[in-house]
Amino acid sequence: MTPTISMGQYLFKRVAELGIEHVFGVPGDFNLTLLDELFKVQELNWLGVCNELNGAYAADGYARIKGSPGVLVTTYAVGELSAMNGVAGAYAEHAGMIHIVGMPGRAVQEARLMLHHTMEPGMDQTIYVGMAEPIRKTHTILTDEKTMAQEIDRVIEAGVKSKLPVYIYVPMDVVGTPLDASRLEKPLSTEVVNSNSQMEDEVVKSTLELIKNSSKPSILADVLTIRHGGRELARRLASATQFPTYSTPLSKGVFDETDSKYNGVYNGEVSFPGCADSLESSDLVLNIGFLLSDSNTGGFTRKIPNGNLVLLGHDYCQIHDKKFDGIHFLPVLKRIVEEIEKDPKQSSLPKPDTRAKVETPLLSTSTSGPITQSYIWQRIGRFLRHNDIVLTESGTAQFGLTDATFGAHTQLITQTFWSSIGYTVGACLGALAAAKEQQRREKQLTSNETSPGSSSRVILIVGDGSLQMTVQEIGSYIRFGFTPVIFVINNNGYTIERAIHGERMGYNDISMLWDHQAMLGFLGARQETGVKGRSFACRTVEELEAVLTEEEFQGAGCIQMCEVFMEKLDYPWRLSSQIAVSRKKMAQAMALQG
């Protein structure tokens, strides 16, 4: 007799196979029995979140650190719809997500009963399935027992390969369906392979040729390099070639920023002095994992002629004007790196480039007085350790921290493309879970020795307006014993919106009555619960310096919140500059149209 396994356990065993150890979600009556199955899979831990949008953000943040998709479990209608904005963000920025939705049993669906969470008599109960169509790569509704296992495999594989959200809809009554357990012995096929090997050959060969014949080559690795698992390859390419390297606002941290060949964040006209000139003077730009959105291209002001450009993307590559549709950069990059690495005489490389390193300007030498945008970001940059994980919220933090210089392995989570405010508070929970897994594995590798200094601190930087969107999830950090460092920028409202329009209009105000100093206590860190939390308020550079240089604060041994008071009309230069450039472009576009 073939050994069997319940559908629910089969699904979660496949999830565990990806190395995933934490699953996020909210219970609801249509997913409770599915959660029973999850709880039987030892490899997985359930992190119940406060609401589904935060859960989607958490799954997204987890994926960005882990490299595997985050897993989110929600319930029919109310749950899945609440998560939509978070899932769409994971789609836009290729975070990867397996969204599992519990739904009414098949017979109930067929009878079209007017259950709670439906909307009208006789409604097709799969109506919500259609609503999510634009924000996923693929989906399955597990109705047919004969194909369930293969459908689960197909959808998960598609999710892993594409790094886009996928949906698995589970009718309540199929959770216990016995599936062939032996199928699990064959691992999922998750490797990205280009089916057109001839085209891949051509991209590899032409790129190597261009590299060899270049005189001023550069590597510009963008965010999809990281999302699609190419970060280490990009670093190996940089190391093997010793070409000058550049990141983008979204990919900041992709390269070791302390390296002598690193030249900063290239963002068209919104770059540090010398950075754009340096990149744009190249006769060859290897642009890996590009994402050419407004805020990631200085408002569409990149100036790299096609004749100098090799685009290595996730759905196409392009060499000068020749486009190779469907070619994924990952196998291409792997081959290029291996080719160059196995060439000890470096005959495949051009002569070393003598380009000067672009130095990062010091924006402020403040040592006292009010905390300004020009001062704080590079100062927080110096607070960061080489392997920290840092999250910057859409707004001043996101634009500001671009000015900092990161340590060798610092990882940044920010959502400059989708730009949903409140995102980082949820994403931070996911990053914390992923960091914990990483740490546990490292400990196992080093035979349980403690290796001090190697553990990643998780640092969240969020504005007061964004915090109000998703604040409750800080309670989840506390509940699950995480100890992030949280900076709250208290500057009286939606400063990014003020910079754009309506500087002093009431719609950009928020409640200024919140007592951030009481936040950690309210959400669980206080004497009575035995959970330690520390809160600080800084109105001056001196006060902030005192906090940042305190050893206990740096140690991140308990959850800590540092509230930083800043002027509401003080903007990071990158934000103002981005807006000015966008306005100019828009006016030009209008003039052309008119």
Which residues are annotated as part of the binding site for Mg(2+)? 464, 491, 493
Q: Which of 27, 33, 24 is nearest to 71 (CA)?
A: 24
Whose structure tokens read 């190249």?
Answer: 282
- Whether 50 and 473 have beta carbons less than 8 Å apart is answered as yes
- Binding to a copy of itself, residues 530-559 (CB under 8 A): 531
Nearer to a copy of itself, 36 or 353 (CB): 36
Pick from 180, 201, 325, 515 the residue near a copy of itself by CB under 8 A: 515
- Binding to a copy of itself, residues 36-75 (CB under 8 A): 36, 38-39, 46, 48, 50-53
Report, in Å, the least distance between residue 405 CB and a copy of itself: 25
Nearer to a copy of itself, 447 or 511 (CB): 511
Residue 519 found at the interface with a copy of itself (CB under 8 A) = yes
* Separation between Cα atoms, residue 497 and residue 508, nearest integer Å: 7
* Separation between Cα atoms, residue 59 and residue 70, nearest integer Å: 4
- Binding to a copy of itself, residues 280-339 (CB under 8 A): 292-295, 300
Which token pair is 90?
């994971």
* Separation between Cα atoms, residue 312 and residue 334, nearest integer Å: 12
Residue 590 found at the interface with a copy of itself (CB under 8 A) = yes
Q: In terms of C-beta density within 10 A (0-12 exposed, 13-18 middle, 19 or more buried), how is residue 40 classed?
A: middle
Report, in Å, the least distance between residue 33 CB and a copy of itself: 6
Q: Which of 397, 344, 423 is nearest to 54 (CA)?
A: 423
Residue 522 found at the interface with a copy of itself (CB under 8 A) = yes
Residues making up the annotated binding site are 464, 491, 493
Residue 373 found at the interface with a copy of itself (CB under 8 A) = no
- Binding to a copy of itself, residues 559-588 (CB under 8 A): 586
What is the DSSP code (8-state) at residue 173? Answer: G
Residue 442 found at the interface with a copy of itself (CB under 8 A) = no
Residue 132 found at the interface with a copy of itself (CB under 8 A) = yes
Nearer to a copy of itself, 42 or 347 (CB): 42
Whose structure tokens read 């196979």?
Answer: 17
Nearer to a copy of itself, 519 or 566 (CB): 519
To 10 degrees, what angle do helices 373-383 and 541-548 make?
10
Q: What residues does 563 pair with on adjacent strands? A: 488, 537
Which token pair is 152?
């689960």
Pick from 147, 446, 451, 529 the residue near a copy of itself by CB under 8 A: 529
Binding segment (CB under 8 A) for a copy of itself, from list 5-13, 28-36, 232-240, 318-326:
28-36
* Separation between Cα atoms, residue 99 and residue 106, nearest integer Å: 20
- Binding to a copy of itself, residues 158-177 (CB under 8 A): none
Report, in Å, the least distance between residue 289 CB and a copy of itself: 14
Beta strands 45-48 and 97-103 are unpaired
Q: Which of 241, 238, 285, 284 is nearest to 266 (CA)?
A: 285
Report, in Å, the least distance between residue 162 CB and a copy of itself: 12
- Binding to a copy of itself, residues 173-212 (CB under 8 A): none
Residue 271 found at the interface with a copy of itself (CB under 8 A) = no
Question: Please, which residues have CB within 8 angstroms of residue 549's CB and are 6 or more apart in sequence?
Answer: none
- Whether 462 and 425 have beta carbons less than 8 Å apart is answered as yes
Pick from 82, 247, 271, 495 the residue near a copy of itself by CB under 8 A: 82
Residue 29 found at the interface with a copy of itself (CB under 8 A) = yes
- Whether 282 and 308 have beta carbons less than 8 Å apart is answered as yes
Q: x/- binding map, residues 403-432, to a copy of itself, per CB under 8 A?
A: -------------xxxxxxx----------
3-class DSSP state of 20: coil
Q: x/- binding map, residues 470-509, to a copy of itself, per CB under 8 A?
A: xxx--xx-xx--------------x-xx--xxx--xxxxx
Report how many residues bind a copy of itself under the rule CB under 8 A: 98
- Binding to a copy of itself, residues 443-472 (CB under 8 A): 468-472
Nearer to a copy of itself, 285 or 478 (CB): 478
Residue 459 parent element (H or E): strand 458-463
Which token pair is 497?
């919106």
